[in-house]
């Protein structure tokens, strides 16, 4: 069932879902990580240190850094089993219980008898977490790998640390392939901040919820009540049979993407209210929106399903 997130009660809260500290391979203490994100105007973060034996399987307790204007979600970056390229799975899990059962993952190399990545992701989702495939491009994830991930909520489509560190920040190909196979997934942009390079404050989610609490944010993330951005704001997306009307901060391009090669772009100057025709999408089951501002920063809507939006 399609829900217009811009019409839902509450407000948008800015948060980063992928962050590291000294509890694993980051360079700052958890308290300083939280302080910096709060000082930058974030409403929440998830500290997601690497959940492996090398770091004593941390699910870092950040509850003491919450206050009336800033909150945290417990989480971790999970690892177990090998992808097709022989490398270890990286799975983002936000909203984990503090006693989440450890896999047999002593380090960053897969073992023959380990729990598989898809099985670990399924356990995390069953435990109540919002689960995303982390940095598919950086990992060398194949479409066959992605198909095995049946329990995830989202694909990490922009990872700022991977943009800065190796120019492999994206997950759009993985997302679009799964959408075209009928998987109903959302997307997220993150930092993957370690603070060892300029890998922070570059990609985030805007989550629509009635209150800035871990419970409300987690429920909204699972429901897809969010969009992702590196700067621009999305302020409204109104679908009809023939077009979509996009309200945003000032941008120079509004692009609608669908299955295969289907895409339509409208370009201009300081556009804040833009109509995009949908003639090219007659054969598309899903659609999503990208906006690009004059500095090249982007915001992305979650995918919608054509039969649902045209029925509203």
Q: Rounded to an integer, what distance in angstroms lies between the CA atom of residue 15 and that of residue 207?
A: 8
pLDDT tens string 255-289: 999 999 999 999 999 999 999 999 999 999 999 99
Residues 229-249, mean pLDDT to the nearest whole number: 96
pLDDT, residue 234, reads 98
pLDDT tens string 187-224: 999 999 999 999 999 999 999 999 999 999 999 999 99
Q: Rounded to an integer, what distance in angstroms lies between the CA atom of residue 14 and that of residue 96?
A: 20
What is the location of CATH 2.60.40 in the chain?
234-309
pLDDT, residue 1, reads 74
203 neighbors 191 (Cβ within 8 angstroms)? yes
Return the ∠ at Cα 129 (arms to 172 and 86), rounded to 5°.
55
| Element housing 252 (H / E) | strand 243-258
For the chain, state the CA radius of gyration: 19
5-229 to CATH, choices 3.40.50.2300, 3.40.50.261, 1.10.10.2840, 3.20.20.140: 3.20.20.140
* Fold topology of 234-309: Immunoglobulin-like (2.60.40)
Question: pLDDT band at 308, cuts 50/70/90?
Answer: confident
Strand partners, 234: 248
Residues 6+ apart with CB under 8 A from 114: 80, 81, 82, 103, 104, 105
Does residue 8 sit in helix, strand or coil? Answer: coil
Residues 147-168, mean pLDDT to the nearest whole number: 98
pLDDT tens string 49-93: 999 999 999 999 999 999 999 999 999 999 999 999 999 999 999
Q: Could you tell me the two tokens for 100?
A: 């989440």
Residue 312 reports pLDDT greater than 60: no
190 neighbors 203 (Cβ within 8 angstroms)? yes
pLDDT, residue 274, reads 98
Question: pLDDT band at 310, cuts 50/70/90?
Answer: low
Burial of 147 (0-12, 13-18, 19+ CB in 10 A): middle
Q: Rounded to an integer, what distance in angstroms lies between the CA atom of residue 225 and that of residue 289?
A: 15
Residues 35-51, mean pLDDT to the nearest whole number: 98
Q: How far is CA 104 from the centre of its chain?
A: 26
205: closest CA among 10, 11, 12? 12
Helix spans in 111-155 (H): 117-126, 136-139, 143-148
Own/partner contacts of 260-263, CB < 8 Å, gap of 24 or more, are 260/180, 260/284
SS3 content of the chain, % helix, strand, coil (to 5): 25, 35, 45
Q: Rounded to an integer, what distance in angstroms lies between the CA atom of residue 44 and that of residue 153?
A: 19
pLDDT, residue 193, reads 98
- Dihedral angle of Cα 114, 115, 116, 118, to the nearest 10 degrees: -160
What is the location of CATH 3.20.20.140 in the chain?
5-229
* Mean pLDDT, the chain, integer: 97
Residues 241-246, mean pLDDT to the nearest whole number: 93
Residues 30-52, mean pLDDT to the nearest whole number: 98
pLDDT, residue 306, reads 86
Question: pLDDT band at 311, cuts 50/70/90?
Answer: low
pLDDT tens string 117-157: 999 999 999 999 999 999 999 999 999 999 999 999 999 99
């Amino acid at each position: 069932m399609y829900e217009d997130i811009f019409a839902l009660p509450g407000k948008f809260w800015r948060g980063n879902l992928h962050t590291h500290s000294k509890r694993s391979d980051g360079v700052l203490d958890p308290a300083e990580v939280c302080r910096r994100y709060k000082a930058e105007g974030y409403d929440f973060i998830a500290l997601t240190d690497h959940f492996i034996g090398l770091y004593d399987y941390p699910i870092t307790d950040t509850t003491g850094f919450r206050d009336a204007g800033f909150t945290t979600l417990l989480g971790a970056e999970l690892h177990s089993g090998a992808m097709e390229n022989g490398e270890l799975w990286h799975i983002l899990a936000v909203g984990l219980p503090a006693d989440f059962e450890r896999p047999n993952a002593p380090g960053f190399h897969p073992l023959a008898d380990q729990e598989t990545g898809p099985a670990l992701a399924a356990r995390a989702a069953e435990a109540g977490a919002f689960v995303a495939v982390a940095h598919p491009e950086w990992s060398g994830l194949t479409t066959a790998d992605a198909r095995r991930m049946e329990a995830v909520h989202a694909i990490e489509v922009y990872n700022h640390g991977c943009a800065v560190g190796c120019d492999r920040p994206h997950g759009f190909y993985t997302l679009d392939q799964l959408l075209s196979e009928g998987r109903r997934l959302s997307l997220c942009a993150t930092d993957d901040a370690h603070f060892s390079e300029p890998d922070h404050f570059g990609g985030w989610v805007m989550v629509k919820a009635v209150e800035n609490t871990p419970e409300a944010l987690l429920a909204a993330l699972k429901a897809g009540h969010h969009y992702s951005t590196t700067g621009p704001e999305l302020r409204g997306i109104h679908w009809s049979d023939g077009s979509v009307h996009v309200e945003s901060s000032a941008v120079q391009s509004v692009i609608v993407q669908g299955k295969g090669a289907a895409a339509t772009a409208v370009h201009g100057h300081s556009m804040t209210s833009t109509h995009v025709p949908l003639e090219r999408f007659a054969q598309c089951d899903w659609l999503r929106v990208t906006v690009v501002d004059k500095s090249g920063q982007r915001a992305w809507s979650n995918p919608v399903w054509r039969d649902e939006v045209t029925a509203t």
